Structure 1
Amino acid sequence: MSSAVYAAFEAGRGREKAAQGRSLGGVPVILAVDLSCYGAAWMRPGWVWAGQLAASEYFTSDYPFAALAVFHQSLETPAVLNAAVGISAHVDPGTRRAVQELCDTLDWPHSSTSG
């Protein structure tokens, strides 16, 4: 699973994607990564992903996103499947609460190493 976590975080490190993450002048941005194209080997329950993402060493203070969401899609179902959100330990408590409230509203598993 560590290679999957690394790849999900790397999706936000490219120059253009990182610029998008910083483009709102300090407003926290959540990066959503669709793991469908990576195959069934990366499918895990959302609660597993949430914990893995939040605890990841790749959530550094300079990571351009406040949180990282992963999900799957299916040709048979238009909905987002197995969504999960890891919240950076480097965001302020207000941002953390806002992301948690969004996740609760969407019924998406989420995790943070702080708060």
Structure 2
Amino acid sequence: MLNKGMSDETVNLGFAALADPVRRAIIARLSRGPATVNEIAEPFEISLQAVSKHIQVLEHAGLVTRTREAQRRPVHLNPDALEALTAWIDGYRLLHEQRFRRLDALLAPDATPAPRKEPS
């Protein structure tokens, strides 16, 4: 693994959780601020229990947390977990960008090829 800060399990859980469009929509909603399960469920045409299960998957992956405020139990986005997944992706993106730059340099019209050794 390129990024030593995250375990394979953490990366797998995070990306598996984000693979579902409902969970991505929940993350998008929570990026605007905390919300209750009822508030999160409003735009979806699925049961409240289904939304709650999606939130549990996101919680298990560490992407969201729940707190208690009197009678409310708002769900909060965990930006650190999203940042860690982004950093994991960026590590690979940077690696491949460097490789493409080297390839571009080799293929540039003004690049001088290295002299070839003729077999004896």
- Flag whether TM exceeds 0.5 (same fold): no
Structure-2-length-normalised TM-score: 0.25
Bigger CA radius of gyration: 2
Q: Which has the higher helix share?
A: 2
Q: Which has the higher strand share?
A: 1
